[in-house]
Amino acid sequence: MTTAKDLFIIAVDSGQESTVGQGDLSLALAGAELIDLLGAGGVTLEGGHVVPGEPSVPDDRLLGEAGARIVRQTPYERVEDWLWRRGRDLAATYQTALEVDGELTQKADGRLPFGARRVEPVDTPSRHAAVDRWERREPVLTALASAVGIGDGPSDVEPGLDDEAATSVIAAVHDAVMELEAVRQRRTIENAAFANVWRVP
């Protein structure tokens, strides 16, 4: 499977999916796709810009969609712009795809069958491969997971990354996640201030 699918499975399998923001995970998934495209030669990074390589058709459908959405005209897109554009609702897209592929299933959360539902990974070879990669502390997967608060690693880029392009992408994911959190905090403060206005006698 791809790094993005492995990351999604780890997010669900870790039991922390309820605490991982969908926006954060979507940004990390977009970063995972970009790293896989870099590894396949579909893109390169030049000065922080995503430069298209030779057109290719990856075996994975979602990775193929990601490759097809690379901007192929100059000026090429910056990594952070790619994360925000590609990352829009990407977690939901991956959840749907993994459910269709039989890698995830939905179960009732609690004793009532009609209560809230949660997703959990199915015991498949793909799940075992993702878990093995996670348990080996594979640097890219570990760093992307750390960016969204999964695992006990540091919040910055993990050691062991010897690929400069992948390191740049992961750093951009961290920055984007922090920016998203700042937006959330600002909205919370604004909403609280607005609510307080209505409480004034």
Q: Is the pLDDT of residue 157 over 50?
A: no
Predicted local distance difference test score (pLDDT) of residue 18: 54
Domain count for the chain, please give it. Answer: 1
Range of the domain at 45: 3-199
Give Dmax over CA atoms of the chain in angstroms.
66
Going by pLDDT thresholds of 50, 70 and 90, the confidence category of residue 201 is low
pTM equals 0.85
Q: Is the pLDDT of residue 3 over 90?
A: yes
Going by C-alpha positions, the residue among 174, 182, 155, 181 that lies closest to residue 23 is: 181
**Cis amide prior to 75 (ω within 30 degrees):** yes
Predicted local distance difference test score (pLDDT) of residue 155: 42
Contact call for residues 173 and 147 (beta carbons, < 8 A): yes
191 vs 30, more confident: 30
One-letter amino acid for residue 176 of the chain:
A
For residue 140, what are the contacts with CB-CB under 8 A and spacing of at least 6?
3, 32, 35, 161, 166, 170
